[in-house]
Amino acid sequence: MSISEQYFPEEPTAPVVKTDTIPGPQGAQAIKTLGEVFDTRCTYFVADYYKSKGNYIVDVDGNTYLDLYCQVASIPLGYNNPALIETAKDPKTISNYVNRPALGNFAGNDFEEIQRELIKAAPKGQHLVWNALSGADANELAFKAVFYNYQAKKRGFNAPFSAEEESSCMENSAPGAPELAIMSFDHAFHGRLFATASVTRSKPIHKMDMPAFKWPKAQFPAYKYPLEANTEANSAEDDRCLAIVEEFFKTWHCPIAAVIVEPIQSEGGDNHASAKFFQGLRDITLKYEARLIIDEVQTGCGGTGLLWEHERYNITPPPDLVTFSKKMQSAGYFFHDPEFVPNFPYRQFNTWCGDPVRVILAGAITREIREKNILPQIKETGDYLFGKLESIQSKYPTWLQNLRGKGKACFIAWDTPSGDDRAKFLNAMKLNGVNMGGCAEVGVRLRPTLVFGKKHVDIFVERLDQVLSTL
């Protein structure tokens, strides 16, 4: 019996679409009335989460979709997972839910246990965690940790601030507000807050009209596919991009305190890189005494078949900070150097300092992944899926270009001929009962749950073939 069948014996057996349009009439009305109190301009359809189960999401028109997008890659173990429902009923969860502690000042007597469960899921080489509220928040807090650490090393870790530093920072000027930089990459996505928008480079809509830090943007490798037929060209691409990174360190007008990079650029197009590239980044940051931040917000928690995708590349020594959110249902960053704890209290601080309910949920999710040995199963499903997609690609090469993600479970993507073609394709898939998402200008990405099985693959591929035969 598959893990999906164990969790969801009453999961739907196939998609069912009852309306001629998505959304249907009830969905359109629901969007209209919701629009009176909420911005619904990005709403695809209004879901009925009470009826959604496992790998299927149901909308208010009664349409049942096989979901390969899963709340923008943030559902780990399926809709209404029974193990997570039991976690929600636990008295510890209820207490932290109704009494939401301001953790920095009034942590509860159960929070040590809660936090230690989360740390069990830490990436290799990391054993500490700082909690956040979202992926963008996690990255912003990681930047703060880097900057605090950079300046503390200069003045002495426990040295007091000078009077000049204290007065100048209140004027947003040096030396109290030093000019430092974070390097990111073209096509990167790290969030929509102020500092994270400055390192996000995927789409103008994410950052238009916002004041920005003048920080460097390096080139992320643009590989040729299939990888096995283009090893020499892709290795040269690694060399080219790493040379650009190092040149920025040599010439940028202010110190580059850290590099932030995704193991797979997701929102920016599902762009992959190699162990050579990531180790090269690590070597450069060590050479110039900068920090390496790995953004695992979308790749983390098993979506690629590993709990943490960057571990695939055996980066040595380990990254300085690893940020997380999405499938973890919590957020923050893991780290290993205690000097990343700010040298004085109230520096890395807010009212909540995370959310203990979400930390409890993250602990339960990662415990289920370990105890039910889920990752080998999603790897097997991914290999099966990729093989099926290669066959589909041979039939419809124009519609499945640059198929990528082989060997990385179901973290798979391909390119369509154009943005208009992609929109037409995604709408046709919805009308055939499959919910999918895009990335960058022409990409299609798959982000199913970790309990997506071969029977789901067969349904998806059948519907995919049907749609492509009509386009």
Annotated catalytic residue within 189, 248, 335, 411: 189
Q: Which of 21, 33, 351, 398 is catalytic?
A: 351
**238: Cβ–Cβ under 8 A, 6 or more apart, which residues?**
221, 273, 274, 276, 277, 280
Instruction: List the strands of the sheet with 56-58, edge to edge.
Output: 56-58, 64-67, 434-435
Counting Cβ atoms within 10 Å, is residue 360 exposed (0-12), middle (13-18) or buried (19+)?
buried
Any catalytic annotation for residue 326? Answer: yes
How many whole angstroms separate alpha carbon 54 and alpha carbon 82?
10
- Residue from 67, 137, 238, 295 carrying the catalytic annotation: 295
Report the DSSP pairing between strands 331-335 and 434-435: unpaired
Q: What is the DSSP letter of 435?
A: E
CB atoms within 10 A of CB 225: 16
Q: From CA 398, how far away is CA 227, in angstroms rounded? A: 18
120 annotated active-site: no
Which pairs from 218-221 meet CB under 8 Å and 24+ separation?
Answer: 218/183, 218/184, 218/185, 218/186, 218/244, 218/245, 218/248, 219/185, 219/186, 219/244, 220/185, 220/186, 220/187, 220/188, 220/261, 220/265, 220/268, 220/271, 220/273, 221/271, 221/272, 221/273, 221/274, 221/277
How many angstroms from the chain centroid is the CA of residue 371? 23
Interior angle at CA 466, CA 464 and CA 467, nearest 5: 65
Burial letters for 310-337: b for 16+ Cβ neighbours within 10 Å, e otherwise?
A: bbbbebeebbbbbbbbbbbbbbbbbbbe
Active site residue 189: yes
Q: Which of 53, 207, 326, 379 is catalytic?
A: 326
Task: Reduce the DSSP state of residue 67 to 3 states and report it.
Answer: strand
Specify whether 283 is catalytic: no
Residues 6+ apart with CB under 8 A from 130: 141, 145, 332, 333, 335, 340, 348
Catalytic residues: 189, 295, 326, 351
